[in-house]
Structure 1
Amino acid sequence: MTGTALPGSGAHTRIDTTVPHSARMWDYWLGGKNHYEVDKAAGDQVRRIHPGILDYARADRAFLGRAVRYLAGEAGVRQFLDIGTGLPTSDNTHEVAQRIAPESRIVYADNDPIVLAHARALLTSTPEGATDYLDADLHDPDAILRRAAATLDFTRPVAVMLLGIVMFVADTGRARAIVERLMDAVPSGSHLVLSHTITAPGLEDVDAAVEYWNSVGTPKLHQRTPEEIARFFDGLELLEPGVVSCSRWRPEPSAAGGEPEEVAFHCGVGRKP
């Protein structure tokens, strides 16, 4: 295990319990305990507006597991930079990767104080590997890369994980520039793993839920079309099945058969040639 500075009680001084927060609401929807009544109330209202929110929270989490298993297994990736980590839950990136390859090295980065307060759960590792946690902001990718270099070797492939985080960057041009900067810093054989909420015809309940969220919570969320999400993979080899609903990215076989139901959260994995 490595550690930048283990989080402690000081993180709690920055936590505002009067305003619902996305990380805590996500924790509530996934059945966690690290949220407050204000998050539960807002989360319940979002569910009333868009009942499918639980499905896509779970689908995004399941996608993380499948993507990391593929990368650590078939693709042979041994380094992961997970930005926008969220609150620790079961099968975090390092747990999935190190179960397959114990020598895997993982750096988590998030600037949410409640995630920082609980980040000890992320600072565990096999003896062969390493994990680290950075209190850092996606809007400053250079700082993330500079500090992550203490744990990761940027001359070797890295999986850059951006699950449910780019949607909090308001300007699409800036969001693409951030992703490009991160991918420019990693060598051939590296991968981008990205998921993002969508807007599309027929998703009026999703749009209404986002509008409600942005009126009461933080940080503000910005939807993009599936086509806009696909542009984040420009210059990369987009792996099959492309940019699809998180529930449909290489799903596990089910007893019921057939394709899983789509959710309003799309994802993809791209390889840097």
Structure 2
Amino acid sequence: MAIDTSVPSIARIYDYFLDGKDNFACDRELAAELLRVAPEARAMARDNRAFLGRVVRYLAGCGITQFLDIGTGLPTQNNVHEVAQEIAPDTKVAYVDNDPVVLVHARALLADNPHTIVVEADVRDPRALLADPALRELIDFDQPVAVLLVGILYFFPEEDRPFDIVAAFRDAVAPGSYLALSHVVADEGPDELGRAQELYRTFLKRSGDARRTRAQVLSFFDGLEFAEPGLVPARHWRPDPGTTADTGDGAGWILGGVGRKKASG
């Protein structure tokens, strides 16, 4: 699989912010630019990752044994299958991404795990993803599934129809399923976040504005019942015992929440 090491990748920049080693010079250069514009970007990436781990532990504790992790990024510590299978060893996890580096590393990591799969797909075409035969073979969509969209939707401008993407997943899953997502909010962050997002668009050749307000992020959960504590700063969503409610380093700029699909009628 050909990998262009001259073009930065969101997944590899995220890996760099998490002190990973699977990134290239172009990724580190853009990461440095982002940190100059928004020094809190590294802390926000770590908040996102920690939020994901707490969400998976919570949902596994609720009895969820099927996870669909979309835009999974590069493998690091406490991956979804590791957290979930520690609680329920037979838990099934489908990882979805279209970054060549992510796919290579994820498939190598999961080669000996029969309850996981890596699907190459573009989340902007959710119906094609949901129809993938290998995904359908692993995940039973007639049973509850946790759909994880953590740290991905704020890279999709309106032209990508992000609300339709999320609605497609909400409609596809069975009652008792969950949606978990995190999103940067424009009405909480300063102008630096807008400039940082402009850098992403310039380097990654994307157009459009993906900044959204808290009210817009709430709309992703239409028809779902929020798990406590609702849509809150990701750092403050069910924090681990003994941790302090830190409000620095852009703590309020990225919100996280989990919603449950209720039974019809």
TM-score (norm 1): 0.88
Structure 1, unaligned runs of 5 or more: 1-9
* 1:178-202 per-position Cα deviation (integer Å, ceiling 9, x unaligned): 1111111111100001112221265
Moved more, 61-70 or 189-198: 189-198
Structure 1 residue 231 corresponds to structure 2 residue 219:
yes
Shift of 1:169: 2.4
For the residues of structure 2 that align with 1:54 and 1:95, how far apart are their CA atoms?
23
Shift of 1:157: 0.3
Shift of 1:251: 0.8
Structure 2, unaligned runs of 5 or more: none
Q: 1:270 aligns with which of 242, 247, 259?
A: 259
Q: Please give the residue correspondences for 1:113-152 in structure 2 after superposition, counting only pairs within 5 Å.
A: 113-123=100-110, 130-147=115-132, 148-152=135-139
For the residues of structure 2 that align with 1:183 and 1:223, how far apart are their CA atoms?
22
* 1:197-244 per-position Cα deviation (integer Å, ceiling 9, x unaligned): 221265111112112222223556722111111100000001111111
For the residues of structure 2 that align with 1:163 and 1:209, how far apart are their CA atoms?
19
Q: Please give the residue correspondences for 1:39-58 in structure 2 after superposition, counting only pairs within 5 Å.
A: 39-58=27-46
Shift of 1:168: 2.7
For the residues of structure 2 that align with 1:67 and 1:250, how far apart are their CA atoms?
8
Relative to structure 1, the CA distance from residue 99 to residue 260 in structure 2 (aligned partners, 3 Å threshold; closer, same or farther) is farther
Aligned position for 2:183 = 196
The AA in structure 2 aligned to 1:140 is: D
Percent identity of paired positions between Structure 1 and Structure 2: 45
Moved more, 163-172 or 108-117: 163-172
Show structure 1 runs of 4+ deviating over 4 A.
Answer: 218-221
Moved more, 228-237 or 200-209: 200-209
* 1:4-51 per-position Cα deviation (integer Å, ceiling 9, x unaligned): xxxxxx2xx1x2222221111000000001110111111011111111
For the residues of structure 2 that align with 1:239 and 1:116, how far apart are their CA atoms?
32
Q: Please give the residue correspondences for 1:33-112 in structure 2 after superposition, counting only pairs within 5 Å.
A: 33-73=21-61, 75-112=62-99
For the residues of structure 1 that align with 2:159 and 2:225, how far apart are their CA atoms?
21
1:161 counterpart SS class: strand
Relative to structure 1, the CA distance from residue 247 to residue 42 in structure 2 (aligned partners, 3 Å threshold; closer, same or farther) is same
CA contact (8 A) 1:22 1:219 kept: no
CA contact (8 A) 1:22 1:218 kept: no
CA contact (8 A) 1:55 1:263 kept: no
CA RMSD, aligned part only?
Answer: 1.9
Aligned position for 2:172 = 185
* 1:58-93 per-position Cα deviation (integer Å, ceiling 9, x unaligned): 0000000000000001x1000001111101111111
Shift of 1:254: 3.3
- Number of matched residues? 257
Moved more, 228-237 or 217-226: 217-226
Relative to structure 1, the CA distance from residue 236 to residue 173 in structure 2 (aligned partners, 3 Å threshold; closer, same or farther) is farther
1:233 counterpart SS class: coil
